[in-house]
Amino acid sequence: MSQSARDPTVAPVLTDTVWFVEVVRDAQAGNLSAFDTLFQYYNARICTYLARMIDNDEEGRDLAQETFIKVWRALPGMNDVPQFETWLYRIATNTAIDHLRRRKFRWPLSKNHEADDTSQFLRIAGPEKQIEEAELIKMALAQVSPHYRACLLLQYVAGFTQREIAQSLNLSEKSISIYVGRGCEQFRQAYERLENGQDATRKRRSTP
Amino acid sequence: MKNPMLMPCAGWVEKLAVKYPDDLSFADRVALNEHLASCPACDTIHSAYQAMGGCICNLPPVEPLSRLPYELLQCEKRSAPRVEQLETTAPGILLWLKSLSEIMLVRPLRQLTPVKSGLLQQAAKMGTTILSFVHSCTHGLNVLERIHAALTHLHQRVIYVSSDDHHFYALRNDTSSILWKYKKSDVFFSSPTVKNGVAYLTSFNAQMFLFSAQWRAGGDSFLWKE
C-alpha cells in the first residue's frame, strides 16, 4: 500500500514492512498462528468499521467474525499479498452490505424503529455533551447510503486514500471521488437535520 | 455544521470532500484553494467536511472480538492435511501402513528368502495403495471411517483357504500369491468365516482358531485359539 498519500508526519504503517508481507504469506500457507497475528492487528479496526457500517456494535462484532472466517478461507486464493489490507476491507464491506440487504428484507420497519430510538434519545434529560455528539454522528452516518457510507468510513476510519478505496471496492477512482463527495454531503445534511431537530426538542422541553 | 440549506457549487463537491493531498493533482489543489478563497459557501462546507471527518474518526472504538472465531479454529482442525490427522488419531495404524514400505528400505531383499521378499514387495505395494486410498477419501467421512473403508477394501481383495497340508493360507484375490500362512500339526476342519476383521475356523481336534484378517507386515496373523 502506498504510504506517500498519507500524512508524512505519521509513522509508516506496519502493512508496508517486509515482516508483514511474510506474515500474510505464512497465513496464506495455512499457518493459523500467522493468521492470528493478522487478526490481532485488524480485529479492533474491522470491528469498529463494521459496527459503524451497520450502526450496531454487537452485530458489527458478529460480522467481523464472519469476515475473518471468510478471509481465512479465501486467503490461499489471494494473489496480491501487499494489497492484503484493501482486500480485507473489501470482504468486510461486502459482508456488511449483504447484511444490510438481508436486514432490509427481513425487517422493513427497522428504519421506523431507528426513528423511535432517535426520539427516545432526544427525550433523555441531560446526557453528557460528548456522548450526545457521538450518538448524533452515528445516527447521521446511519442515514448515508451504504455504498457512500463505506467510502466515508474507508477514508476516515481505515485511513485509505481514494486510490486505495477504489482498489478495495473494485471501482474506478472517479467513481470513488463521486461517492465520497456524495457521502460527505449526505452526512452533512443528515447531521444538520438531526442537530436542528434536537435543538427544537430541547426548546420545546424548556418551554413551560 | 449549522446551515443545512447551504449548498456547494456544482462540480466542486468531490474536491471539497478530499482528505489526503495526493487524492488531488497539484493543479486541482491550486484551483480548489483559489475557489475556496472566492466562495464562502464552499469554504464553509469544506470546513464542515474536515470537521465531520474528525468527528467520525473520534467516535469511541468498538470493543473487539476476544479471540479468533471458534468456527475458524474448528475449520482449521477439519482442514488439516489428512496424513497429519491420521498421525494424531490413529498412530498405530499409520505406523503399520508406513512400515510396509520402510521394511524395504532398512532391510535389503537379498537377505530374505524369496517367499518373504515376495510378500514384502506385495505388502509395500499394498501399503502404498492403502495410504493413497485413505489420503484421497472424500471430506464427508471422519478419519476412522476412512481407515475402516480402506481396510474393508483390502479385505475384499484377500481370500482365506484352509488346506489339508496343515496350513491356513491368506491369498491375494487378484494374483493368488500367498500373503501369509499359518501351520498347524492337525488338519483344519472348516472353511474360514471372515467377519469384522477376524477370520474364524476350526480344526479336527475341535480347536477354534482366530486370525486377524488385517494384513500384518512380517508377522503371522494368529490371534487366539481355544
The ipTM assigned to this model is 0.72
B223 phi/psi in degrees, rounded to 5: -110, -50
- Binning chain A into helix, strand and coil, the percentages to the nearest 5 are 80, 0, 20
Residues 78-117 of B with CB under 8 A from A: 79
Residue with the bigger pLDDT between B114 and A9: it is B114
CA A163, A165, A167, A170 dihedral sign is: negative
Q: Which residues of B touch A165 (CB under 8 A)?
A: none
Per-residue pLDDT, B108: 42
Per-residue pLDDT of chain B (226 residues; tens, 9 = 90+): 555 568 888 888 888 988 888 888 889 999 999 999 999 999 999 999 988 888 898 888 888 988 888 766 665 555 544 444 444 444 455 555 555 444 444 444 444 566 665 676 676 667 656 665 665 554 444 555 555 555 554 545 667 777 767 777 777 766 777 777 777 666 665 666 776 667 777 766 667 777 766 555 444 566 666 5
Average pLDDT over residues A143-154: 94
Q: Cell numbers 460527505 correspond to what residue?
A: A184
Q: Which residues of A touch B85 (CB under 8 A)?
A: none
Q: Could you say which of A69, A138, A182 has the minimum Cβ distance to residue B69?
A: A69
User: How long, in residues, is chain A?
Assistant: 208
CA distance B115 to A59: 69
Per-residue pLDDT, B61: 86
Closest CA to B75 of A95, A75, A63: A75
CA distance B115 to B181: 11
Q: Say if the Cβ atoms of A68 and B4 lie within 8 Å.
A: no
Q: Could you say which of A47, A52, A196 has the minimum Cβ distance to residue B59?
A: A52
Residue with the bigger pLDDT between B91 and A173: it is A173
Per-residue pLDDT, A96: 95
Closest CA to B221 of B180, B164, B165: B180
Tell me the HSE value of B3 on the side-chain side, using a 13 A CA sphere: 12
CA A121, A123, A124, A127 dihedral sign is: positive
Nearest-CA distance from B3 to chain A in Å?
7
Nearest-CA distance from B206 to chain A in Å?
59
Q: Tell me: the pLDDT tens digits for A178-191?
A: 999 999 999 999 99
CA distances, B118 to each of A84, B126, B171, B217, B225 (Å): 55, 12, 13, 12, 28
Residue with the bigger pLDDT between A11 and A83: it is A83
> Which residue of chain B has the CA closest to A163?
B23
Rounded to a whole number, what is the distance in angstroms from the first to the last CA of chain B? 96
Q: Which residues of A touch B72 (CB under 8 A)?
A: 68-69, 72
Q: Tell me: the pLDDT tens digits for A15-40?
A: 667 888 889 999 999 888 899 899 99
CA distances, B184 to each of A123, B27, B92, B171, B172 (Å): 97, 101, 29, 18, 21
Average pLDDT over residues A120-147: 75
Instruction: Report yes or no: A162 and B23 within 8 Å, Cβ to Cβ.
Output: yes
Per-residue pLDDT, A10: 46
Poorest-pLDDT segment among A89-103, A109-123, A163-177, B1-15: A109-123
Q: Which residues of B touch A137 (CB under 8 A)?
A: 55-56, 59
Average confidence score pLDDT of chain A: 81
> Which residue of chain B has the CA closest to A39?
B68
Q: Could you say which of A7, A156, A187 has the minimum Cβ distance to residue B57?
A: A156
Give the helix/strand (H/E) hosting B160: strand B158-162
Q: Reduced to 3 states, what is the DSSP secondary structure of residue A163?
A: helix
Q: Which residues of B touch A175 (CB under 8 A)?
A: none
Interface test with A, best of B24, B68, B85 (most A CBs within 10 A): B68
Average pLDDT over residues A196-208: 67
Count of CB atoms within 10 A of residue B11's CB? 8
Q: Could you say which of A32, A47, A189 has the minimum Cβ distance to residue B62?
A: A47
User: Residues near B129 by Cβ (< 8 Å), separated by ≥ 6?
Assistant: none
Per-residue pLDDT, B7: 85
Amino acid at B142: N
Per-residue pLDDT, A56: 92
Per-residue pLDDT, A181: 92
Q: Reduced to 3 states, what is the DSSP secondary structure of residue B200?
A: strand
Poorest-pLDDT segment among A76-90, A104-118, B64-78, B200-214: A104-118
Q: Which residues of B touch A44 (CB under 8 A)?
A: 61-62, 64
